[in-house]
Structure 1
Amino acid sequence: MSKVLVPLAQGCEELEAVTIIDILVRGGVEVVTASLDDNTIITASRGVQLVAQKTLDEVIDDHYDLVVLPGGLPGADYLQADPRIIAKLKNTVEMGGLAAAICAAPKVLVSAGLLDGKQATSYPGVIEKQPAHDMQFSNESVVEDGQIITSRGPGTAMDFALHLLQKLQGADVRQTVEAGLVRA
Protein backbone atom coordinates (compact mmCIF):
# COMPACT_ATOMS: atom_id res chain seq x y z
CA MET A 1 0.00 0.00 0.00
CA SER A 2 1.26 3.45 -0.89
CA LYS A 3 1.87 5.85 1.97
CA VAL A 4 1.50 9.62 1.63
CA LEU A 5 2.32 12.52 3.95
CA VAL A 6 0.11 15.62 3.75
CA PRO A 7 1.51 18.36 6.00
CA LEU A 8 -1.27 20.72 7.10
CA ALA A 9 -0.14 24.23 7.92
CA GLN A 10 -2.30 26.90 9.53
CA GLY A 11 -3.88 28.86 6.68
CA CYS A 12 -3.72 26.04 4.12
CA GLU A 13 -6.28 25.93 1.32
CA GLU A 14 -9.03 23.65 2.66
CA LEU A 15 -10.51 22.63 -0.69
CA GLU A 16 -7.11 21.44 -1.87
CA ALA A 17 -6.24 19.65 1.38
CA VAL A 18 -9.55 17.83 1.69
CA THR A 19 -9.69 16.91 -2.01
CA ILE A 20 -6.17 15.45 -1.96
CA ILE A 21 -6.82 13.48 1.23
CA ASP A 22 -10.26 12.24 0.16
CA ILE A 23 -9.31 11.08 -3.34
CA LEU A 24 -6.21 9.25 -2.13
CA VAL A 25 -8.10 7.51 0.69
CA ARG A 26 -10.87 6.48 -1.73
CA GLY A 27 -8.14 4.86 -3.82
CA GLY A 28 -6.77 2.80 -0.97
CA VAL A 29 -3.75 4.96 -0.16
CA GLU A 30 -2.59 5.33 3.43
CA VAL A 31 -2.67 9.08 4.07
CA VAL A 32 -1.00 10.63 7.11
CA THR A 33 -1.90 14.23 7.91
CA ALA A 34 0.47 16.15 10.16
CA SER A 35 0.42 19.59 11.74
CA LEU A 36 3.63 21.60 11.80
CA ASP A 37 3.42 22.15 15.56
CA ASP A 38 1.63 20.68 18.59
CA ASN A 39 -1.70 22.24 17.58
CA THR A 40 -3.39 19.54 15.50
CA ILE A 41 -6.45 21.73 14.89
CA ILE A 42 -5.74 23.60 11.67
CA THR A 43 -7.65 26.76 10.79
CA ALA A 44 -7.56 26.82 7.01
CA SER A 45 -7.48 29.89 4.77
CA ARG A 46 -11.28 30.33 4.74
CA GLY A 47 -11.74 29.58 8.42
CA VAL A 48 -12.68 25.91 8.06
CA GLN A 49 -11.15 23.79 10.80
CA LEU A 50 -9.31 20.62 9.89
CA VAL A 51 -7.82 18.10 12.32
CA ALA A 52 -4.40 16.60 11.63
CA GLN A 53 -3.86 13.00 12.75
CA LYS A 54 -0.37 13.60 14.09
CA THR A 55 2.26 16.26 14.55
CA LEU A 56 5.08 16.47 12.02
CA ASP A 57 7.63 15.56 14.69
CA GLU A 58 5.76 12.28 15.32
CA VAL A 59 5.94 11.17 11.68
CA ILE A 60 8.92 12.96 10.15
CA ASP A 61 11.20 9.90 10.21
CA ASP A 62 8.66 7.59 8.51
CA HIS A 63 9.05 6.59 4.85
CA TYR A 64 6.55 8.00 2.33
CA ASP A 65 6.02 7.29 -1.34
CA LEU A 66 4.77 10.84 -1.78
CA VAL A 67 4.84 14.10 0.15
CA VAL A 68 2.10 16.41 -1.13
CA LEU A 69 1.67 20.04 -0.11
CA PRO A 70 -1.69 21.83 -0.21
CA GLY A 71 -1.40 25.50 -1.07
CA GLY A 72 -3.17 28.53 0.30
CA LEU A 73 -1.80 31.47 2.19
CA PRO A 74 -0.34 31.83 4.68
CA GLY A 75 -0.13 28.02 4.77
CA ALA A 76 2.40 27.77 1.94
CA ASP A 77 4.54 30.42 3.64
CA TYR A 78 4.65 28.32 6.83
CA LEU A 79 5.59 25.20 4.85
CA GLN A 80 8.33 27.11 3.04
CA ALA A 81 9.77 28.43 6.32
CA ASP A 82 9.91 24.98 7.96
CA PRO A 83 13.32 23.31 7.47
CA ARG A 84 11.80 19.90 8.32
CA ILE A 85 9.49 20.16 5.30
CA ILE A 86 12.34 21.17 2.99
CA ALA A 87 14.49 18.27 4.25
CA LYS A 88 11.61 15.76 4.01
CA LEU A 89 10.86 16.75 0.42
CA LYS A 90 14.51 16.40 -0.59
CA ASN A 91 14.90 13.08 1.23
CA THR A 92 11.71 11.63 -0.26
CA VAL A 93 12.88 12.42 -3.79
CA GLU A 94 16.42 11.15 -3.08
CA MET A 95 14.89 7.86 -1.90
CA GLY A 96 12.92 7.50 -5.16
CA GLY A 97 9.63 8.93 -3.96
CA LEU A 98 7.49 11.75 -5.30
CA ALA A 99 7.03 15.36 -4.23
CA ALA A 100 3.91 17.29 -5.22
CA ALA A 101 2.47 20.73 -4.55
CA ILE A 102 -0.53 22.77 -5.63
CA CYS A 103 -1.45 26.47 -5.76
CA ALA A 104 1.08 28.56 -3.77
CA ALA A 105 2.91 25.49 -2.41
CA PRO A 106 5.17 24.91 -5.46
CA LYS A 107 7.26 27.78 -4.08
CA VAL A 108 8.26 25.33 -1.32
CA LEU A 109 9.59 23.02 -4.03
CA VAL A 110 11.58 25.97 -5.41
CA SER A 111 13.11 26.52 -1.96
CA ALA A 112 13.99 22.83 -1.77
CA GLY A 113 15.75 23.03 -5.14
CA LEU A 114 13.37 20.45 -6.60
CA LEU A 115 12.15 22.59 -9.50
CA ASP A 116 15.61 23.37 -10.88
CA GLY A 117 15.59 22.41 -14.54
CA LYS A 118 11.97 21.26 -14.32
CA GLN A 119 8.72 22.16 -15.96
CA ALA A 120 6.15 23.23 -13.34
CA THR A 121 3.01 25.20 -12.65
CA SER A 122 1.45 27.04 -9.70
CA TYR A 123 -1.18 29.59 -8.83
CA PRO A 124 -0.67 32.51 -11.23
CA GLY A 125 2.18 34.77 -10.15
CA VAL A 126 3.61 32.51 -7.42
CA ILE A 127 6.65 30.81 -8.95
CA GLU A 128 7.04 33.00 -12.01
CA LYS A 129 8.27 35.81 -9.73
CA GLN A 130 10.98 33.70 -8.12
CA PRO A 131 11.50 30.77 -10.47
CA ALA A 132 13.86 27.92 -9.88
CA HIS A 133 17.09 27.74 -11.90
CA ASP A 134 16.25 26.82 -15.54
CA MET A 135 12.62 26.13 -14.62
CA GLN A 136 10.02 26.28 -17.36
CA PHE A 137 6.61 27.58 -16.26
CA SER A 138 3.50 25.92 -17.70
CA ASN A 139 -0.15 26.96 -17.67
CA GLU A 140 -1.30 23.33 -17.70
CA SER A 141 -3.61 22.21 -14.87
CA VAL A 142 -1.26 19.47 -13.72
CA VAL A 143 2.41 19.17 -14.66
CA GLU A 144 4.55 16.10 -14.01
CA ASP A 145 8.28 16.28 -14.57
CA GLY A 146 10.15 13.27 -13.26
CA GLN A 147 9.38 12.81 -9.57
CA ILE A 148 7.79 16.25 -9.22
CA ILE A 149 4.08 17.00 -9.76
CA THR A 150 2.58 20.49 -9.56
CA SER A 151 -0.86 22.00 -10.06
CA ARG A 152 -2.45 25.45 -10.31
CA GLY A 153 -5.06 25.92 -7.59
CA PRO A 154 -8.40 25.04 -6.00
CA GLY A 155 -10.08 24.60 -9.39
CA THR A 156 -7.52 21.98 -10.43
CA ALA A 157 -7.47 20.09 -7.10
CA MET A 158 -9.63 17.19 -8.35
CA ASP A 159 -7.48 16.65 -11.45
CA PHE A 160 -4.34 16.94 -9.32
CA ALA A 161 -5.55 14.42 -6.74
CA LEU A 162 -6.67 11.96 -9.41
CA HIS A 163 -3.29 12.31 -11.15
CA LEU A 164 -1.53 11.54 -7.86
CA LEU A 165 -3.80 8.54 -7.30
CA GLN A 166 -3.03 7.18 -10.77
CA LYS A 167 0.69 7.66 -10.21
CA LEU A 168 0.52 5.69 -6.95
CA GLN A 169 -2.16 3.09 -7.62
CA GLY A 170 -2.50 2.84 -11.40
CA ALA A 171 -5.01 3.80 -14.06
CA ASP A 172 -7.59 1.16 -13.09
CA VAL A 173 -7.87 2.48 -9.52
CA ARG A 174 -8.11 6.04 -10.79
CA GLN A 175 -10.89 5.08 -13.20
CA THR A 176 -12.83 3.29 -10.47
CA VAL A 177 -12.54 6.23 -8.06
CA GLU A 178 -13.34 8.78 -10.76
CA ALA A 179 -16.42 6.83 -11.90
CA GLY A 180 -17.73 6.89 -8.34
CA LEU A 181 -17.38 10.68 -8.25
CA VAL A 182 -19.78 11.13 -11.22
CA ARG A 183 -17.62 13.85 -12.76
CA ALA A 184 -19.22 13.66 -16.19
Structure 2
Amino acid sequence: MKKIAVHLADGFEEIEAISIIDVLRRAGFDVTVVSMNKSMEVNGAHEITVKADALFEDLDYDNINMIVLPGGMPGAANLKAHSGLREQILNFNDMKKPLAAICAAPMVFGNLGLLKEKKATCYPGFEEELHGAIITGEAVEEAENIITGKGAGVAIKFALKIVEKFKGKDVADELATKMIAD
Protein backbone atom coordinates (compact mmCIF):
# COMPACT_ATOMS: atom_id res chain seq x y z
CA MET A 1 0.00 0.00 0.00
CA LYS A 2 1.34 3.43 -0.95
CA LYS A 3 2.15 5.68 1.99
CA ILE A 4 1.49 9.39 1.61
CA ALA A 5 2.51 12.06 4.11
CA VAL A 6 0.34 15.20 4.22
CA HIS A 7 2.21 17.97 6.04
CA LEU A 8 0.39 20.54 8.16
CA ALA A 9 1.93 23.73 9.52
CA ASP A 10 0.06 26.34 11.55
CA GLY A 11 -2.05 28.42 9.17
CA PHE A 12 -2.82 25.57 6.72
CA GLU A 13 -5.91 25.75 4.49
CA GLU A 14 -8.42 23.40 6.12
CA ILE A 15 -10.48 22.61 3.01
CA GLU A 16 -7.37 21.56 1.13
CA ALA A 17 -5.90 19.45 3.92
CA ILE A 18 -9.08 17.61 4.89
CA SER A 19 -10.23 17.07 1.29
CA ILE A 20 -6.86 15.61 0.32
CA ILE A 21 -6.64 13.37 3.39
CA ASP A 22 -10.22 12.17 2.95
CA VAL A 23 -9.98 11.42 -0.80
CA LEU A 24 -6.67 9.60 -0.44
CA ARG A 25 -7.96 7.47 2.43
CA ARG A 26 -11.12 6.65 0.45
CA ALA A 27 -8.82 5.47 -2.34
CA GLY A 28 -7.09 3.08 0.05
CA PHE A 29 -3.82 4.92 0.66
CA ASP A 30 -2.03 4.83 4.00
CA VAL A 31 -2.12 8.56 4.78
CA THR A 32 -0.08 10.02 7.61
CA VAL A 33 -0.98 13.54 8.71
CA VAL A 34 2.30 15.13 9.76
CA SER A 35 2.55 18.00 12.25
CA MET A 36 5.34 20.45 11.55
CA ASN A 37 4.89 21.72 15.12
CA LYS A 38 6.31 20.36 18.35
CA SER A 39 2.81 19.11 19.24
CA MET A 40 0.30 16.89 17.46
CA GLU A 41 -2.20 19.74 17.21
CA VAL A 42 -2.00 22.04 14.20
CA ASN A 43 -4.11 25.20 13.89
CA GLY A 44 -5.64 26.00 10.51
CA ALA A 45 -5.95 29.39 8.86
CA HIS A 46 -9.63 29.55 9.87
CA GLU A 47 -9.14 28.47 13.48
CA ILE A 48 -9.89 24.76 12.95
CA THR A 49 -7.47 22.58 14.88
CA VAL A 50 -6.47 19.19 13.50
CA LYS A 51 -4.72 16.42 15.42
CA ALA A 52 -1.90 14.91 13.38
CA ASP A 53 -0.84 11.27 13.26
CA ALA A 54 2.88 11.96 13.63
CA LEU A 55 5.40 14.68 14.35
CA PHE A 56 7.78 15.54 11.51
CA GLU A 57 10.81 14.58 13.59
CA ASP A 58 9.40 11.09 14.23
CA LEU A 59 8.47 10.15 10.66
CA ASP A 60 10.61 7.63 8.76
CA TYR A 61 10.67 9.04 5.23
CA ASP A 62 12.22 5.85 3.85
CA ASN A 63 8.73 4.35 4.14
CA ILE A 64 6.90 7.29 2.51
CA ASN A 65 6.02 7.24 -1.20
CA MET A 66 4.83 10.85 -1.59
CA ILE A 67 5.00 14.21 0.17
CA VAL A 68 1.90 16.43 -0.06
CA LEU A 69 1.71 20.09 1.00
CA PRO A 70 -1.64 21.84 1.51
CA GLY A 71 -1.53 25.60 1.12
CA GLY A 72 -3.06 28.41 3.10
CA MET A 73 -1.30 31.30 4.74
CA PRO A 74 0.74 31.47 6.79
CA GLY A 75 0.79 27.64 6.55
CA ALA A 76 2.63 27.52 3.22
CA ALA A 77 5.18 30.07 4.44
CA ASN A 78 5.71 27.96 7.57
CA LEU A 79 6.30 24.88 5.40
CA LYS A 80 8.78 26.85 3.28
CA ALA A 81 10.68 27.91 6.40
CA HIS A 82 11.10 24.36 7.75
CA SER A 83 14.66 23.25 6.88
CA GLY A 84 14.02 19.57 7.61
CA LEU A 85 11.04 19.49 5.24
CA ARG A 86 13.02 21.26 2.53
CA GLU A 87 15.73 18.61 2.87
CA GLN A 88 13.19 15.78 2.57
CA ILE A 89 11.61 17.40 -0.50
CA LEU A 90 15.01 17.70 -2.19
CA ASN A 91 15.75 14.05 -1.37
CA PHE A 92 12.41 12.95 -2.82
CA ASN A 93 12.98 15.00 -5.95
CA ASP A 94 16.48 13.54 -6.42
CA MET A 95 14.93 10.07 -6.27
CA LYS A 96 12.08 11.17 -8.60
CA LYS A 97 9.56 10.29 -5.87
CA PRO A 98 6.22 12.11 -6.22
CA LEU A 99 5.64 15.52 -4.66
CA ALA A 100 2.42 17.54 -4.59
CA ALA A 101 1.47 21.03 -3.41
CA ILE A 102 -1.66 23.15 -3.73
CA CYS A 103 -2.60 26.84 -3.38
CA ALA A 104 0.35 28.85 -2.01
CA ALA A 105 2.39 25.72 -1.16
CA PRO A 106 3.91 25.25 -4.67
CA MET A 107 6.14 28.16 -3.60
CA VAL A 108 8.04 25.65 -1.46
CA PHE A 109 8.99 23.72 -4.61
CA GLY A 110 9.59 26.94 -6.56
CA ASN A 111 11.98 28.33 -3.99
CA LEU A 112 13.93 25.05 -4.09
CA GLY A 113 14.30 25.35 -7.88
CA LEU A 114 12.22 22.23 -8.55
CA LEU A 115 9.77 23.86 -10.96
CA LYS A 116 12.22 25.29 -13.50
CA GLU A 117 10.88 24.76 -17.01
CA LYS A 118 7.97 22.65 -15.70
CA LYS A 119 4.27 23.38 -16.00
CA ALA A 120 2.84 24.44 -12.64
CA THR A 121 -0.08 26.28 -11.12
CA CYS A 122 -0.74 28.03 -7.80
CA TYR A 123 -3.06 30.40 -6.03
CA PRO A 124 -3.17 33.74 -7.90
CA GLY A 125 -0.56 36.14 -6.57
CA PHE A 126 2.06 33.48 -5.80
CA GLU A 127 3.29 33.02 -9.36
CA GLU A 128 6.56 34.90 -8.76
CA GLU A 129 7.43 32.32 -6.07
CA LEU A 130 7.45 29.52 -8.68
CA HIS A 131 10.91 30.43 -9.95
CA GLY A 132 11.35 29.41 -13.57
CA ALA A 133 8.06 27.53 -13.85
CA ILE A 134 5.80 27.58 -16.87
CA ILE A 135 2.72 28.92 -15.08
CA THR A 136 -0.48 27.73 -16.73
CA GLY A 137 -3.25 28.92 -14.42
CA GLU A 138 -4.93 25.51 -14.79
CA ALA A 139 -6.74 23.94 -11.84
CA VAL A 140 -4.20 21.10 -11.57
CA GLU A 141 -0.90 20.46 -13.33
CA GLU A 142 1.36 17.42 -13.40
CA ALA A 143 4.95 17.70 -14.61
CA GLU A 144 7.19 14.69 -14.16
CA ASN A 145 7.11 13.82 -10.44
CA ILE A 146 5.38 17.04 -9.30
CA ILE A 147 1.65 17.81 -9.05
CA THR A 148 0.48 21.36 -8.32
CA GLY A 149 -3.01 22.70 -7.68
CA LYS A 150 -4.55 26.16 -7.77
CA GLY A 151 -6.50 26.35 -4.50
CA ALA A 152 -9.23 25.23 -2.13
CA GLY A 153 -11.94 25.00 -4.80
CA VAL A 154 -10.01 22.32 -6.69
CA ALA A 155 -8.77 20.32 -3.67
CA ILE A 156 -10.82 17.23 -4.58
CA LYS A 157 -9.68 17.39 -8.21
CA PHE A 158 -6.08 17.76 -6.98
CA ALA A 159 -6.44 14.73 -4.68
CA LEU A 160 -7.99 12.70 -7.50
CA LYS A 161 -4.93 13.51 -9.64
CA ILE A 162 -2.79 11.91 -6.92
CA VAL A 163 -5.08 8.85 -6.98
CA GLU A 164 -4.71 8.73 -10.76
CA LYS A 165 -0.91 8.93 -10.51
CA PHE A 166 -0.70 5.81 -8.36
CA LYS A 167 -3.82 3.82 -9.26
CA GLY A 168 -4.76 4.97 -12.77
CA LYS A 169 -7.45 7.11 -14.34
CA ASP A 170 -10.18 4.45 -14.10
CA VAL A 171 -9.84 4.20 -10.31
CA ALA A 172 -9.75 8.01 -9.95
CA ASP A 173 -12.82 8.38 -12.21
CA GLU A 174 -14.74 5.70 -10.29
CA LEU A 175 -13.97 7.43 -6.98
CA ALA A 176 -14.98 10.80 -8.45
CA THR A 177 -18.31 9.31 -9.55
CA LYS A 178 -18.94 7.78 -6.10
CA MET A 179 -18.18 11.15 -4.50
CA ILE A 180 -20.29 13.01 -7.08
CA ALA A 181 -17.16 15.01 -7.94
CA ASP A 182 -17.13 14.34 -11.69
Aligned residues: 182
Counterpart residue type for residue 5 of structure 2: L
* Counterpart contact for 1:60–1:88, Cα < 8 Å: no
Unaligned runs of 5+ in 1: none
Aligned residues: percent identity?
36
Name the stretch that deviates more: 107-116 or 15-24.
107-116
Q: Match for residue 67 of structure 1?
A: 67
TM-score, normalised to structure 2, is: 0.95
Task: Quote how far apart the aligned CAs of 1:172 are.
Answer: 2.8
* Counterpart contact for 1:2–1:169, Cα < 8 Å: no
Matched residue of 2:122: which SS? coil
Give me the whole-angstrom Cα distance separating, in 1, the residues matched to 2:62 and 2:13: 25
Deviations 1:159-179 (A, max 9, x none): 101011111122232123212
* Counterpart contact for 1:65–1:98, Cα < 8 Å: yes
Q: Match for residue 147 of structure 2?
A: 149
Task: Quote how far apart the aligned CAs of 1:45 are.
Answer: 0.5
Residue 137 of structure 1 is aligned with which of 102, 119, 135? 135
Task: Quote how far apart the aligned CAs of 1:16 are.
Answer: 0.1
Matched residue of 1:84: which SS? helix
Q: Match for residue 95 of structure 2?
A: 95
* CA distance 1:172–1:73, shift in 2 (3 Å): same
Give me the whole-angstrom Cα distance separating, in 1, the residues matched to 2:73 and 2:130: 18
* Counterpart contact for 2:111–2:129, Cα < 8 Å: no
TM-score, normalised to structure 1, is: 0.94
Matched residue of 2:163: which SS? helix
Q: Match for residue 170 of structure 1?
A: 168
Unaligned runs of 5+ in 2: none
| CA-atom RMSD in angstroms | 1.3
* Counterpart contact for 2:99–2:146, Cα < 8 Å: yes
Task: Quote how far apart the aligned CAs of 1:85 are.
Answer: 1.1
Q: Which stretches of structure 1, 4 residues or longer, exceed 4 Å deviation after superposition?
A: none
* CA distance 1:8–1:131, shift in 2 (3 Å): closer
Give me the whole-angstrom Cα distance separating, in 2, the residues matched to 1:58 and 1:181: 33
